A and B are shown apart, each in its own frame.
Chain A
Amino acid sequence: MNYIGEHLWAAELGRGLTAFSFVFALLSTFAYYSKGEDWKTVGRLAFRLHAITLFGLIGTLFFIMANHYFEFDYVWKHTSLDLPPRYLFSAFWEGQEGSFLLWMFWNAILGWVLTYTAKNFEGPVVGVFAAVQAFLVSMILGIWIGDYQLGYSPFNLVRELPENLGLPWTQFEDYLTRFPNFMDGSGLNPLLQNYWMTIHPPTLFLGFASTLIPFSYAIAGLLRKDYTSWISSALKWSVFSVGILGVGILMGGAWAYEALSFGGFWAWDPVENTSLVPWLTMAAGTHLLLIQRNKGGVMPSVLFLLIISFLLVLYSTFLTRSGILGDSSVHAFVDLGLSGQLLIYLLFFTLGSLGLFLARYRGLPKKEKEDRMDSREFWMFIGALVLLISGLQITLSTSYPVFNKLFGPEGLIHLYDENKVLNDPIKHYNAIQVPFAIIITLLIGAGQFLSYRQTSSKLFFQRQITTLVATTILTGLSAWALDMWNPMYITLMWTSYYAVIANLEFWIRWGKGQWNFAGASVAHVGFGLLIAGALVSNANKDIISQNRTFIHEDFPANENLLLSLGDTVEMGKYWATWSGQNEEGYYINYELEFFEEIDGKLEAAFNLSPRIQLNERMGNVAEPSTRHTLTKDIYTHVTYADLRTEEERGTDEWKNEFELELNVGDTHFLYGKYQLELDTLVVDAPHSEGELDYAILGAGLTITTLEDSVYKVMPVYAVQGNQAQQVDAEIKELGLKFSFDRINYESNKPVIIASEHTEAEVPFILVKAEVFPWINLLWLGSILMAVGTGIAIAQRVKRERK
Chain B
Amino acid sequence: MKNSQIAIIIAIAVLIGFTLVNLGNSATYSSFADASLKQGETTTVIGYLNLEEPMSFDAKTVTLTFAAKDKKGNASTVVYNQPKPQDFERSEEITMTGYATDSAFIATDILMKCPSKYNEQNEVDSDKIYK
The interface of chain A, by Cβ under 8 A from chain B, is 76-77, 158, 163-164, 167-169, 179-181, 186, 326-327, 330, 334, 367, 370-371, 373, 378, 381-382, 385-386, 388-389, 392-393, 396-397, 400, 416, 418-424, 428, 432, 547, 549-550, 552, 555-557, 560, 562, 612, 616-622, 639-640, 643, 672, 764, 766
Contacts and interface: CB of A to CB of B under 8 A. Distances in A.
* Closest CB pairs A-B (n = 10): A418-B28, A640-B83, A639-B83, A557-B81, A619-B87, A620-B86, A186-B122, A179-B129, A557-B62, A672-B60
A754 to B, nearest CB: 14
A547 B62 contact: yes
B77 interface: no
B62 to A, nearest CB: 4
20 contacts: A77-B120, A167-B124, A169-B130, A326-B118, A327-B95, A334-B118, A370-B3, A418-B30, A421-B29, A423-B27, A432-B18, A549-B60, A556-B82, A562-B62, A616-B116, A617-B121, A618-B114, A620-B86, A620-B87, A672-B60
A163 B62 contact: no
B114 to A, nearest CB: 5
Given A181-B124, A388-B11, A560 B83 contact: yes
Contact of B29 (A419, A547, A616, A764): A419
A421 B14 contact: no
B86 A389 contact: no
B123 interface: yes
B118 A370 contact: no
B120 A334 contact: yes
A766 B83 contact: yes
A555 B81 contact: yes
Nearest to A381: B4
B101 interface: no
Q: Is chain B's binding surface mostly helix, strand, loop or mixed?
A: mixed
A590 to B, nearest CB: 14
B44 interface: yes
Contacts of B3: 370-371, 373, 378
B83 A421 contact: no
A397 B29 contact: no
A533 to B, nearest CB: 26
B124 A164 contact: yes
B27 A420 contact: yes
Contacts of B46: 327
Contacts of B8: 385
A77 B121 CA distance: 10
Contact of A639 (B11, B82, B120): B82
Given A389-B11, A556-B82, A639-B83, A672 B58 contact: yes
Contacts of A616: 116
Given A169-B126, A334-B118, A617-B121, A397 B86 contact: no
B39 interface: no
B4 A396 contact: no
Given A167-B126, A378-B4, A618-B117, A557 B63 contact: yes
B33 interface: no
A557 B7 contact: no
Count chain B CB atoms within 10 A of each CB in A158, A423, A766 and give the residue with the most.
Answer: A423
A422 B43 CA distance: 10
Nearest to B95: A327
A371 B8 CA distance: 14
B26 interface: yes
Interface string B15-43: 10011001001111110000000000011
A396 B26 contact: no
Interface string B57-91: 11111110000000000000000011110110010
B4 A562 contact: no
Contacts of A400: 26
